A and B are shown apart, each in its own frame.
Chain A
Amino acid sequence: MAATPFFANLDRIFILLRDWLVGFLPVAVRPAASVVLGVIAIVCVFPGLFALTTIFERKGLGRMQNRLGPNRVGPFGLFQPVADGIKALIKEDIVPLSANAAVHFLAPLTLVVAVFMEFAVLPMGRNMALVDMGSGLLFFFAMSASTELSVFMAGWSSRNKYSLLGAMRAIAQMISYEVVLVLSSVSVVMIAGSLSLPDIVNKQNHYTHGFPHWYIFTPWGFAAFVMFAIAATAETNRSPFDLPEGESELVAGYHTEYSGFKFALFFLGEYLAMFSVSGLGTTLFLGGWSAPFSFLTFIPSWFWFFSKVMLSIFVFIWMRGTLPRLRQDQLMNFAWKFVLPFTLLDLLVTALWRILGLGWQRWVFCTVILVAAYVLMGLDQERRRHIGPRRYRYAE
């Protein structure tokens, strides 16, 4: 096993690099400097990933729609994000005359700062969480909740009806689906017994016959993961839940009146929110940085984390290319009449899973309850569905 130290060092390469860089500084400032280096890494890596994702998304969507996508800037159009970035920087920054200038200026900044904070608690590899906080999950949700106010600030301060409508829709949607996002994470907390994200990853990092103990491979975990994925899509305003910026109805939603780099900041915030929520889903259900098979554990942990995040991003793009946009009432009915009850049921099933203890019974009972509930709820919705002209309550 001569190769083992090499892979062990590759696994720790970023930590070693940080320690080597910090080693040049006096001892007194070393702890602060290592935190600052971690922050710099996050602030550089994720916007870089954002640039890559935009070209990936445009290419991928192009292929799904039977066209080429951007292919003019650089080889295969790979430098398109660079061109877009320069364009955003040199564009004129237009602020509407009747806009509330101070709030209009602050909205994109507060959004991006709150989203960046979310990355602080995500374990991106073995010992690679910036802050190992005892209540990391709570911190993550606190930060994601504070982005809603930025959306409101943007929509209201623009003094434009499309902006305000978009912001109202976004907030209604984010509040409705945030409940589901938190509740589906609670089932993981019930089993792991910890709010600390590195702890949750460690609890999943075991193997039986070469297969991992990820929470998605349990009945309750699978159900919670599906609900989490739906809520995460809605929370990041991605298609099919992209009503807040439905371009056929609202121009561009709450960032209609933003141009230049402020618009780019909103764009960045949206993609960073996608990365962070994918990272959280990876950590909670997909085993975080642990390898999918025990014989693959020699590959560095950070590689697995980022592969899983990029896989989730690909699923986001795939859904955007596949599904049509929901209507506002469909969105709300789906959240409150299907997703939320099912998540609450899944919480009870998780408790049952814990009570039944080890053995085959818990697999059978939990699977039967969840499948039966899914089928019954589906039949009930099917029975209530009536196709016909839509009745409007307020617009007649």
Chain B
Amino acid sequence: MNAVFYLLAAITIAGGVAAVMLKHLIHSALAVTVAFAGIALLFLQLDAQFVGFAQILVYIGAVAILIVFAILLTHGADLPREGVFSKSWLAGLIIAAGVFAVIGWAVLESIDAVPQRNAVFEVSVQKIGNALVGRYVLPLEIVGLLLTAATIGAVIVAMHEKERSR
């Protein structure tokens, strides 16, 4: 545990806390993005390049955009009249702390369940790629099929309005 870890942890936690406490939904979404970036940097600090970059690519590049679009399209983006902090911040904080406590408890309990490995494995992006198209190709294909089905479903839902308006 060095200074870089504490810095990144502070950024991540600050982002998470801000996401819970800020009043404005879009500010919360942007704060969540900061937390995503902090987590990605923590992965990179652990030499997990693939997970780190995938975290940036998927969470900052796609999920954050999805969140802000969802907020905009559901009219939640109006600026609040007064104050920066949400009134329900206490409830949000308690729920977040509860979820964190459950996850933390599960992680701490699982230390004994998983056999300890002393050797540090070097998991390169190339190894992950070979595993994905080699041993785990069937799960990959199934996930791809599922996502394609979801995309087609989304297109059908969007097409429906056009049929009705004719």
Contact = CB atoms under 8 A, between A and B. Distances in A.
Interface of A: 98, 100, 103, 133-135, 138-139, 141-143, 145-146, 148-149, 152-153, 156, 159, 171, 175, 178, 194-195, 393
B50 A135 contact: yes
B13 interface: no
Nearest to A100: B79
B75 interface: no
Given A148-B65, A156-B72, A141 B30 contact: no
Contacts of A159: 79
B129 to A, nearest CB: 8
B125 interface: yes
B65 A175 contact: yes
Q: Which A-B residue pairs are the 6 nearest by beta carbons? A: A145-B61, A142-B56, A135-B125, A142-B53, A138-B53, A142-B57
B125 A393 contact: no
B77 A149 contact: no
B61 A135 contact: no
A188 to B, nearest CB: 14
B77 A138 contact: no
Given A133-B49, A148-B61, A149-B65, 5 more contacts: A103-B30, A141-B57, A142-B57, A145-B56, A145-B60
B2 interface: no
Q: How large is the interface on B (under 10, 10 to 19, 20 to 34, 35 or more residues)?
A: 20 to 34
Contacts of B125: 134-135, 138, 195
B126 interface: yes
A171 B49 CA distance: 26
Given A103-B30, A134-B125, A138-B125, A149 B60 contact: yes
A134 B52 CA distance: 13
Given A148-B65, A156-B68, A139 B30 contact: no
Interface of B: 26-27, 30, 33, 37, 49-50, 53-54, 56-57, 60-62, 64-65, 68-69, 72, 77, 79, 124-126, 162, 165
Contacts of B50: 135, 138
Contacts of A153: 30
A148 B77 CA distance: 18
B65 A152 contact: yes
A236 B12 CA distance: 30
A145 B57 contact: yes
A393 B49 contact: no
Contacts of B57: 138, 141-142, 145
A159 B24 CA distance: 14
Contacts of B64: 149
Nearest to A152: B68
Contact of B49 (A135, A145, A178): A135
Contacts of A145: 56-57, 60-62
B53 A139 contact: yes
Contacts of A152: 65, 68
Contacts of B65: 148-149, 152, 171, 175
Given A135-B49, A135-B125, A393-B165, A156 B26 contact: yes
Contacts of A194: 126
Nearest to A149: B64
Contacts of B124: 134
Contacts of A98: 79
Nearest to B61: A145
A11 B27 CA distance: 49
Contacts of B27: 103
A393 B165 CA distance: 8
16 contacts: A134-B49, A135-B50, A135-B53, A135-B125, A138-B57, A142-B54, A145-B60, A146-B60, A148-B61, A148-B65, A149-B30, A149-B64, A156-B77, A171-B69, A178-B61, A195-B125
Which one of B50, B61, B65, B77 has the greatest number of beta carbons of chain A within 10 Å? B61
Which one of B77, B124, B126, B165 has the greatest number of beta carbons of chain A within 10 Å? B126
A326 B69 CA distance: 24
A135 B50 CA distance: 8
A148 B65 CA distance: 8
